[in-house]
Chains A and B, each alone.
Chain A
Amino acid sequence: MVLLVIAGASYYYFEKLKDPSYQPKLRDIPAIVAIKEGVGKSLEEDKPVHYQMGASGGQLYSTLVSMTLVALTFLRYISRLCAEMGARLIVHMPYQAESIPLIEGTTLEGYREAGKPEEFQRENLRYYGRGALTWTQGVTASFAQEGVGLNLAIGIFYSDCPISLEMAKYMGGLNVGGTGRWIMVYAFAMMCDYVFLGEEIYAAAAVVSQDKMMLVGMLIEEVGKFFVFLLLGLGLILSLVGMDVVSLLNM
């Protein structure tokens, strides 16, 4: 049923998109502006920009794939920004080797959009082997030896992320980041200068992509949220009169 509502809303908005004057709008998310500031700061301090999508952020065939896609959208944005502004970008790749082709492709695409594909260097894509342990160590070492200007961390983060975030802070970097895994959001809330709380990464991805299709995606989602409100409201009334709402929803 939810799928139907969302598919219906998608259809409505996709049709609406055909009108070129239509411009969807979302509320401000301060952390997006901070990304640009951070790249500027890196340039001033002559330090690289670091991008990480999580030690285990390259999951393509799991239920978390949507977050990998969000991380790729941001990767494209940050690589375009770095190419345009002339900052050096270091991408700490997740350990899932199967995601490497997509990551390299996306980074290159960002450089292409900025018109500087020749500045892309494969050596700036770092790989550290299996598991969170070596990844965190590798990232920490890279922070310590190459310096941190901006540390942008968006993607699937597991319990290992406090180290990479706190170490970036420790080495004087500006932390911007967020994850959709609610359990780890606390680390971002506590350690980042600017944070995307949970689902905000999806909205922010839509904004940075500057693509109407992505923005409309957020509107579709809002329809979904109002549908959930409706369910909650109706459900509350029905459950107060004693109907078995729970098994109704489990159908």
Chain B
Amino acid sequence: MMNMSATWRTLVPVLIVSLTSIIVLAPFFINIGLLNDMSNVLSSWTVIISAVTGTALGLVYMTHAIYASYQRNKQTEQLVMAATTYAFIILHIGLAITQPGGVNSSAYQWWYTVVYQNVGATIYAFMFFTLASSAYRTMILNSVEAASLAAGGLIYTLRQIPIFQTWFPWMVPLGEWILLVPNVGGSRGAVIAAALAATVYGVRTIWGKEISLREVS
């Protein structure tokens, strides 16, 4: 009984991974109709599975965290914040269900633009400041590495800023050179190395020897 359950718990999932990946990989090398179809079915399942989990699983974990945080720290503020979150969930879902056109209705789009899209854009704007302050800390010419980082960073920044293109026209070809020559050299090496690592991961997983998945209980 014990052995049986161990088989179902550990061996079968490993087999599923190997089999699925071979089915998906095969059509890239040989052209067999059945394999192509199976590969398409598997691809469509991935989308359905992620959609099914997306409908509620995240909400469960979020609720857990919110509830536990309130239990630890019973303040009105915590309660207000939790209520805000759920109010916005209900508002959006409510609009999507009740308004004609669902997510394409003007009411939903209004909220989508003003909250989701707007804050999303602001988050990226925020990053300007985090990058600026981290560069202020690290782009100090105190070593060869930091100097090359600063050189790559500052020259290409200046190349992109219109006023410097006018003031220092040579900055444009220099910036392009940084981008197209040393940058390409370095990033190609890094890309090849990472691709090799990824390939090894893939081969090992198909082989059924990947440990990061196997013992997950």
Q: Specify which chain A residues have a CB less than 8 angstroms from the CB of B204 in the assembled complex.
A: 10, 213, 217
- Which of chain A's residues has its CB closest to B66's CB? A123
A199 within 8 Å of B (CB atoms):
yes
> How extensive is the interface on chain A, given as a class?
35 or more
> Quick one: CB contact mask for A75-113 with B, threshold 8 Å, 1 for yes?
010000000000000000101111010100110110010
Separation of A105 and B119 alpha carbons in the complex (Å): 33
Interface positions of A from 161 to 189, Cβ below 8 Å from B: 162-163, 165-167, 169, 180, 182, 185-187, 189
Would B190 and A198 count as touching, CB distance under 8 A?
Answer: yes
Would B196 and A225 count as touching, CB distance under 8 A?
Answer: yes
Query: Could you count the A-B residue pairs with CB atoms below 8 Å apart for me: how many are there?
Result: 185
- Which of chain A's residues has its CB closest to B71's CB? A123
- Which of chain A's residues has its CB closest to B49's CB? A98
Would A159 and B124 count as touching, CB distance under 8 A?
Answer: yes
- Given contacts A14-B207, A182-B191, A228-B196, whether A202 and B201 have CB atoms under 8 Å apart is yes
Would B200 and A221 count as touching, CB distance under 8 A?
Answer: yes
> Quick one: CB contact mask for B131-165 with A, threshold 8 Å, 1 for yes?
10111011100000000010000000000000000
Interface positions of A from 107 to 139, Cβ below 8 Å from B: 108-109, 112, 121-134, 136-137
- Given contacts A109-B216, A125-B61, A127-B61, whether A10 and B194 have CB atoms under 8 Å apart is no
Total interface residues on B, using CB and 8 Å? 58
- Which of chain A's residues has its CB closest to B196's CB? A224
Q: Specify which chain A residues have a CB less than 8 angstroms from the CB of B3 in the assembled complex.
A: none
- Which of chain B's residues has its CB closest to A227's CB? B196
B97 within 8 Å of A (CB atoms):
no
Chain A to chain B contacts (Cβ below 8 Å), 8 pairs = A3-B203, A6-B203, A97-B58, A112-B217, A124-B65, A169-B134, A182-B187, A221-B200
Q: Which residues of B contact A (CB under 8 A)?
A: 43, 46, 49-50, 53-54, 57-59, 61-62, 64-65, 67-69, 116, 119-120, 122-124, 126-127, 130-131, 133-135, 137-139, 149, 187, 190-194, 196-205, 207, 209-213, 215-217
